[in-house]
Amino acid sequence: MTKHFTRIRDLGCENARRLIARAKEMKDTNHRSDLMAGKSAILLFEKASTRTRVSFETALHHLGAKTIFMTPAESQLGRSEPLRDTARVLSRYNDCMIVRTFGQEKIDELVRFGSIPVVNALTDQGHPCQVMSDLLTMYEHTPDFSTIRVAWIGDGNNMANSWIEAAMYFPFELFMAFPEGYEPDRNLLGLALQAGAKIFCTHDPKEAIEGAHYVNTDVWASMGQEAEQARREKAFAGYMIDSNMMKYAAKGAKFMHCLPAHRGEEVSEEVFESEASIVFDQAENRLHMQKAILEWIFS
């Protein structure tokens, strides 16, 4: 049976928890293997990338695979070839698709019509590889997730959705603050709450950050939302994570961001460059977590 990683929910609770420990082991041992020797992976990216592209290409090389990078400008996707046709063709050439795109439905269509594993490297609805990497980063500081309170301050975007999914499988408390009209996927939130996730939502960022051990945020306008920048800046006034906001968090709280960050908007320069910031640990851990995910798929 072909394994895919399109959402954190694809893993199931046991596998999700096992992957955290495995990724930590891979990091500690500077893991290399020939698991994917002789295999090729196509990186199909409709959105620009730094961390995602480099971390995935490096992870694949560490496991012995060859990589091919493709954008719509360099393929028939840019000339409106049906995605289902692309899925069937690429499946005959490659062993895996790593996809960074807009709608989640594109990932689902590649899974439906292709015959090789598909990994979600980001959509507008979710960023599962990033959040799994963030969980690894927290695990390095606090192995017992049941003692952790995580704050999400900002947009109810793809990152927020994946944090909600993570809360279904890991026993941390998740306090989320969004401006009105910028809430995450309601159906997903309802599903997580029914599954027993400890999630609390508010429109007050100070209420969400109170006592938090990890403070998370993201840009206010993601790729494809640039035209909304001015409106979003107005809506998110008061949501910047600065030194005054961090005072509400628990003593020794860590600041997290998936990057790239807009200093002076969602986070101040002072907080971003402070000792509390673990953003570059998060960035590094993309490599190790994605190796663990690929190993899970191909083992």
Q: Annotated catalytic sites, by residue? A: 100, 127, 130, 218, 258, 286
Which residue, among 256, 59, 74, has the nearest Cα to 152 in the 3D structure? 256
Tell me: is residue 53 an annotated ligand-binding position.
no
Tell me: is residue 10 an annotated ligand-binding position.
no
Q: How far is CA 198 from CA 7, 88, 245, in A?
A: 19, 41, 23
Tell me: is residue 50 an annotated ligand-binding position.
yes
Tell me: is residue 79 an annotated ligand-binding position.
no
Which H or E element spans position 214? strand 214-217
User: What is the C-alpha separation between 289 and 272, in angstroms, rounded?
Assistant: 23
Which H or E element spans position 100? strand 96-100
C-alpha 208: how far from chain center: 21
Tell me: is residue 194 an annotated ligand-binding position.
no
Tell me: is residue 9 an annotated ligand-binding position.
no
Cα radius of gyration rounded to whole Å, the chain: 19
Tell me: is residue 100 an annotated ligand-binding position.
yes
Tell me: is residue 223 an annotated ligand-binding position.
yes
Phi/psi at 53 (5° precision): -65, -50
Sheet containing 149-153, strands listed edge to edge, beginning at the edge strand earlier in sequence: 198-202, 173-177, 149-153, 214-217, 254-257
Tell me: is residue 158 an annotated ligand-binding position.
yes
As annotated, the binding site includes: 49-52, 76, 100, 127-130, 158, 218, 222-223, 258-259, 286
* Binding-site residues from annotation for carbamoyl phosphate: 49-52, 76, 100, 127-130, 258-259, 286
